[in-house]
Structure 1
Amino acid sequence: MTKLPLLLPLLSPRAASPSRALTPPPARLLAVAAAGASVQDAVMSAAATGDYPCPVSPPYPAVSKDVELRRALTASARSGAYSSAAVVFEDEWLAVVDKPAGVYCEALLSALPCSTASSGDPSSKPNLHLANRLDRDTSGLMVITKCNKVAAKLVKAFTEHKVKKTYLALCIGYPPAWEKIKICSGHGRSKHGAWRVYAMSDVGRTLPGGSSVRDMSTKFEVLGTDGEGQYREPSNVDIDDIESITVQEKAADQTSNVDVKNHMIFVRAYPQSGRTHQIRLHCQYLGFPIRGDVKYGGVIEWNGVDCDGHALHAESLSFVHPVTGLPVTFRAPLPSWASEIISTMG
């Protein structure tokens, strides 16, 4: 009996409805829910039901090391020259800024043109803290607090997942059969030191090096494929009936030689937890790594142009203001790659 990586659908009213059929890539076979299915049975079942590709995990490809080094050097130069953060909102307690891609988070602290200190005295210097962080090449919203008390409250809100976030991503890979989905998995470091997707059953297990596997979940919705689709505002994924899949086995620790179907998939992600590289990992696992994300299987070149970073954007943040107690929502301006995609859609 052949053992295959398994993504087990948790049936919901939406999941039980017929879905568009997909033909899975030969080296990315999916196991069917029934135990003991053969490889041929798995192929036939996946093609008939539109199950999900199951790509491989780290180690990182060797070529990514050179690309990452070049990007890091470029980002260091950009960060050193970064002098004026784009402020989306600011009051005397915090500021929300739009971080550009290719700039380190810490550069925003010195580049924030704070107009008012938390004490109300314009001559005093606020004590700035990063309430959240974004990867170097991820653009979008970050919150900077101006005093320790506000920082503690907001960091706690992010840690306890009380801050609702949405991200936009442009992915290249195998087109999904679903419109909306929730993926639940484990999260931890592999023996190579790279972050990876683990099975949910591994959550709590101690890994080599002393860390442990933690849970992570992300909800996705497809906005367009190959330029066809319609851009829409974020939906209330808390009440939508949405199909769920649970990772039953960690991704294979190897590199695939199979050509991936290079479709362009524009997605919105709703992370339900805040693990390192969470959206990037889940996109890779679902068969459509983010464009330019060389660590997790993304293409380095697309349509004849080299990618200088990955196409991931922190689109919105919603939380309760730590001082006023009022609910607030902030949206970041779209990056150029997202505007170009949306302009081609209906």
Structure 2
Amino acid sequence: MRSRMTMSSSNLPLEDHAELLEWRIGSEEAGERIDKYIADNLDMDGVSRTQVQEWIKSGAAVVNGKPVKTNYKLSAGDLIALGIPEAENADIEPEDIPLEIVYEDSDVIVINKPRGMVVHPAPGHSSGTVVNALMFHCKDLSGINGMLRPGIVHRIDKDTTGLLMAAKNDLAHVSLAEQLKEHSVTRKYIALVHGNVPHDQGTVDAPIGRDTHDRKLFTVTDHNSKPAVTHFIVLERFGDYTLLELQLETGRTHQIRVHMKYIGYPMAGDPVYGPNRSNKSIALNGQALHAAVLGFTHPRSGERLLFEAPLPADMEHVLNSLRLR
């Protein structure tokens, strides 16, 4: 039987929902339907416009503190508040999936995630995820992020490899989440990008939001966006490719991939943000992006921890091939 995951409608007061989101409407969004606006601006995998309409009907979404209909036309200055209900979960089971554990104690676990592994269950990916594996290995994880994302305080894309931390209890979860919010977590990535980056180092400071033409994608935009900052250093040049070390100051969805595309050096092997969506110039099943360094303050001891993960074999093979050209 296929497992199913849905986000139920709810009659709970907004403050009692699992998560509360707010948007202030500007003049450029005036006249847009509320259901379309929320669906286009909600940073959640697998949530359809139909699901949003159910939330609006149940009172989980209000405008200026009052319930509205799904076809309500927004006005400049409107304040939308949306209470995200707890996810209803069926058959999200622990699975005996091997994990490359870099560090583990009673509070936190750090793993080196392989390419192709989804971090947490979502529609279409109810098994084989990092969460399924962690549930089997750890037996108990922080419950702050709900039953679909136990222990998960941050994530990396399915086809990005490298270091990921998870919380085993709520104390650890609160601490790690606060460190992420304060930008005190060290996160360095190694990436191969198209083109010859001329500057030895630089910073991309450009806000990221949903692409209004395709809500599955993100782009640099001033429209309902959040600040995003990525620092980079050139490690090696190959003529038509450049190897970079990138450090995240913020952690927006697809941030490095979007920022590299924005400055004209898209990620090699990236099927979504690369030069085209069928990019086969690099022999990788996904973007050449690796979370190589992760550092944080231990939530209980206060000790500063720093971990490194070597490049995956497929990415090393690509780099060696470029060096031999």
Structure 1 residue ranges, 4+ long, deviating more than 6 angstroms after superposition: 79-82
The partner residue of 2:212 within 191, 207, 221 is: 191
Counterpart residue identity of residue 197, structure 1: V
In the aligned structure 1, how far is the partner of 2:226 from the partner of 2:106?
A: 36
1:137 paired with 2:159, answer yes
How many percent of aligned residue pairs carry the same amino acid? Answer: 30
The partner residue of 1:224 within 208, 232, 236 is: 236
Structure 1 vs Structure 2 CA RMSD: 2.7
1:214 paired with 2:226, answer yes
The Cα of 1:126 is off from its aligned counterpart by 4.5
CA gap 1:333/1:80 in 2 versus in 1, 3 angstroms? farther
The Cα of 1:341 is off from its aligned counterpart by 5.3
Give the length in aligned residue pairs. Answer: 213
The Cα of 1:337 is off from its aligned counterpart by 3.5
CA gap 1:306/1:126 in 2 versus in 1, 3 angstroms? closer
The Cα of 1:80 is off from its aligned counterpart by 10
1:161 counterpart residue number: 183
1:320 counterpart residue number: 297
The partner residue of 2:117 within 103, 109, 113 is: 103
Unpaired segments of 5 or more residues in structure 2?
1-92, 121-128, 143-149
1:148 paired with 2:170, answer yes
Aligned to 1:214, the other structure's residue is in SS state: coil
Equivalences for residues 45-60 of structure 1 within 5 A: none
1:283 paired with 2:260, answer yes
Counterpart residue identity of residue 219, structure 2: R
CA contact (8 A) 1:301 1:307 kept: no
Unpaired segments of 5 or more residues in structure 1?
1-78, 118-123, 228-262
Counterpart residue identity of residue 326, structure 1: E
Aligned to 1:282, the other structure's residue is in SS state: helix
The partner residue of 1:178 within 196, 199, 203 is: 199
CA contact (8 A) 2:95 2:135 kept: no
Aligned to 1:295, the other structure's residue is in SS state: coil
In the aligned structure 2, how far is the partner of 1:125 from the partner of 1:214?
A: 33
In the aligned structure 2, how far is the partner of 1:138 from the partner of 1:314?
A: 7
Equivalences for residues 64-75 of structure 1 within 5 A: none
In the aligned structure 2, how far is the partner of 1:166 from the partner of 1:139?
A: 12
Aligned to 1:130, the other structure's residue is in SS state: coil
- TM-score normalised per structure 1: 0.56
1:65 counterpart residue number: none
The Cα of 1:268 is off from its aligned counterpart by 0.9
1:33 counterpart residue number: none
In the aligned structure 1, how far is the partner of 2:94 from the partner of 2:161?
A: 17
Higher relative contact order (CA 8 A, sep 6+): 1
- TM-score normalised per structure 2: 0.59
